[in-house]
Amino acid sequence: MKRSWSALVGIVAGALTLGVAELLAGLMTRTGLATGTPSPVVAVGGVFVDHTPPWLKNFAVSSFGTNDKLALFVGMAVVLTALCALIGVLGAGRQTAGLVVFVVFGAIGALAVVSRPRSGSFDILPTMIGVAAGLWALSALWPQGARASAGTSIDRRRFLVAGTGVAAAAATAAAIGQSLGQRAVQALESRSAIRLPKAVNPVVIPSGAQLDVKGVTPYVMPNELFYRIDTALVVPQLDTAGWSLKVHGMVDQEVTIDWATLLTKPMQDALVTLMCVSNEVGGDLTGNAVWTGWPVRELLKMAGPQPGADMVLSTSIDGWTAGTPLSVLTDDRNALLAIAMNGEPLPLEHGFPVRMVVPGLYGYVSATKWVTELKVTTFADDEGYWTPRGWSALGPVKTESRIDVPRSGDRVKAGTVAVAGIAWAQHRGIKAVEVRVDDGPWQAARLAEEPTIDSWRQWVLPWQAVKGSHTITVRATDTEGIVQTEAQAPPAPDGATGWHTVTVNVD
């Protein structure tokens, strides 16, 4: 049999395996039989993410940004297609060997399923049945492929019709499974039914916080533009009726609250800038929003943390964890169990129905989305998701600044040019921003108003631009007198450092 026909057999069998598995996984999710991640595709992707070294994570985020998950799925599709094609070629000459290798890859998928958080005894069934369907397809199509390769055009047409039919059935099954597995309808209906309680002290943003400079990042980032970085390959889709939050561990008494109870609590508004630790110098993995929620310290006070505890391990519905210093969650800062973002219920991808928002810390140690559990513990006994993967246990946000306009590579006209951007030092605040052109002196930029030290601050410097190519550099100083360091450092293990520079051409 020609290799092309053999490869096609393997690809069709692989497609049928995944189609059947996804259909059954969707049915199990919809009926409540699944407790973990029954989809082998999502499970394998999750295992890959869990074992991604820091350098590869940084590469993915810097290369693909918020499209990192799409890139992962595309990469997985390419690899799986290639593997199935190789199995098809192998089995054309040695059928038993091809079947054995196919079973081995199916077993890897099954192991990935059982390794996921909250995995149950039934979660493995979709993968097993999918593999059985794939084995049947291989056994049935290899003889047809051989006849198509050596036979007449009629034999080839018959093979192509059979292969196309199987592939179409696989694609249909996968699409239906994905649709069944998504609880978006229930989640969206739950979200649309929410009537947000009013905050005790609503945030009022002064007009002076937003500079009138074209191209500068808006002071409050719209929800649809707010960055998203997390490990969830499929956005968890919860409804308020099924949500609850448990506090346990080193506490005087365990406490569990549900959605209805949470809504009875006095809500607060907080302007807080969140930032991903993977943000490069000058990067855009940061955003500022008005968050509405109940202070975490009030819930912890109900549970009564015991002496010796110094960390709270928060857990997402998908098993992701963050280790946050207990002191940060019990002081007077606005660390919230947030239910709203910019006056709207949390978007699904940003943690609906409830997430954590903690000023002053990178998201990997604080900003748990879809939060369902708080364990009061110690840093000696527990670790958040990213700590054993090479990131520091503590993640205070560093004093940084960014030039938004002009952008590197822009051409501007000689004369007065507005150089503007943002600076941040969450929970410390920005005292000064300075700008330098080429090797000239540092010049003080004008700062916009600062409604809170927990969010970024806009700045602008009118620059008298002269013809030529110029390098513009910015640095910030926080209210503790700490000047942003010039030393260049990558994001790992505790956040990037360095001065942001842009090169512009003046005509």
SS3 of 228-292: the string is: CCCCCCCCCCCCHHHCEEEEEECECCCEEEEHHHHHCCCCEEEEEEEECCCCCCCCCCEEEEEEE
Q: Of the candidates 395, 400, 399, which has an alpha carbon nearest to the alpha carbon of residue 494? A: 395
Q: Does domain 400-506 have CATH number 3.40.640.10?
A: no
Of the listed ranges 175-184, 241-250, 373-382, the least confidently predicted one is 175-184
* pLDDT of the residue at 179: 61
Q: What whole-number distance in Å separates Cα of residue 155 and Cα of residue 174? A: 28
Return residue ranges of the chain for CATH 3.90.420.10: 207-389
Q: Of the candidates 396, 405, 417, 397, which has an alpha carbon nearest to the alpha carbon of residue 458? A: 405
**pLDDT-derived band of residue 142, with 50, 70 and 90 as boundaries?**
confident
Asked if the model's pLDDT at residue 250 lies above 60, the reply is yes
* pLDDT of the residue at 176: 65
Asked if the model's pLDDT at residue 499 lies above 90, the reply is yes
Q: What whole-number distance in Å separates Cα of residue 277 and Cα of residue 398? A: 10
Asked if the model's pLDDT at residue 349 lies above 90, the reply is yes
Of the listed ranges 119-133, 391-405, 450-464, the least confidently predicted one is 119-133
Phi and psi based region of residue 418 (left: phi greater than 0; alpha: psi -120 to 50; beta: remaining): beta
Q: What whole-number distance in Å separates Cα of residue 363 and Cα of residue 356? A: 9
The answer to whether the CB of 238 falls within 8 A of the CB of 352 is: yes
382 vs 121, which has greater pLDDT? 382
Long-range contacts of 49-54 (CB under 8 A, 24+ apart): 49/231, 49/233, 50/231, 52/389, 53/389, 53/390, 54/389, 54/390, 54/391, 54/492, 54/493
Residue ranges of E strands in 379-499: 400-405, 411-412, 415-424, 430-437, 443-444, 446-447, 457-465, 468-478
* pLDDT of the residue at 122: 86
User: For the segment 443-461, what is each residue's pLDDT rounded down to a tens digit?
Assistant: 999 999 999 999 999 999 9
Asked if the model's pLDDT at residue 150 lies above 60, the reply is no
Asked if the model's pLDDT at residue 181 lies above 70, the reply is no
- Entry field: residues in the chain: 507
Distances, alpha carbon 467 to alpha carbons 415, 504, 505, in Å: 9, 10, 7
Token readout for 336 is 């919230």
User: For the segment 268-282, what is each residue's pLDDT rounded down to a tens digit?
Assistant: 999 999 999 999 999
Q: What whole-number distance in Å separates Cα of residue 407 and Cα of residue 403? A: 7
Helix axes of 95-115 and 3-31: crossing angle, nearest 10 degrees: 30
User: For the segment 305-336, what is each residue's pLDDT rounded down to a tens digit?
Assistant: 999 999 999 999 999 999 999 999 999 999 99
* pLDDT of the residue at 194: 92
Helix axes of 125-150 and 95-115: crossing angle, nearest 10 degrees: 150
If you average pLDDT over residues 455-472, what whole number do you get?
A: 96
163 vs 377, which has greater pLDDT? 377
* pLDDT of the residue at 149: 60
The answer to whether the CB of 326 falls within 8 A of the CB of 376 is: yes
The answer to whether the CB of 405 falls within 8 A of the CB of 421 is: yes
User: For the segment 14-49, what is each residue's pLDDT rounded down to a tens digit?
Assistant: 888 888 888 888 888 777 777 788 888 888 888 887
Token readout for 126 is 């979709």
347 vs 166, which has greater pLDDT? 347
User: For the segment 213-248, what is each residue's pLDDT rounded down to a tens digit?
Assistant: 999 999 999 999 999 998 888 888 888 998 999 999
* pLDDT of the residue at 157: 65
* pLDDT of the residue at 185: 63
* pLDDT of the residue at 91: 84
Exposed, middle or buried: residue 485 (CB in 10 Å: 0-12, 13-18, 19+)? middle
Of the listed ranges 190-199, 280-289, 449-458, the least confidently predicted one is 190-199
Return residue ranges of the chain for CATH 2.60.40.650: 400-506
Class of domain 207-389: alpha beta
* pLDDT of the residue at 274: 97
Distances, alpha carbon 61 to alpha carbons 273, 276, 368, 399, in Å: 19, 10, 19, 21
Q: What whole-number distance in Å separates Cα of residue 273 and Cα of residue 289? A: 7
User: For the segment 58-74, what is each residue's pLDDT rounded down to a tens digit?
Assistant: 777 777 776 777 787 78
Distance of CA 174 to the CA centre of its chain: 24
Token readout for 236 is 């968890």
* pLDDT of the residue at 398: 97
Percent of all residues in the chain with a pLDDT value above 70, rounded to a whole number: 90
**pLDDT-derived band of residue 201, with 50, 70 and 90 as boundaries?**
confident
Of the listed ranges 1-15, 287-301, 309-323, 464-478, the least confidently predicted one is 1-15
If you average pLDDT over residues 132-146, what whole number do you get?
A: 81
* pLDDT of the residue at 365: 97
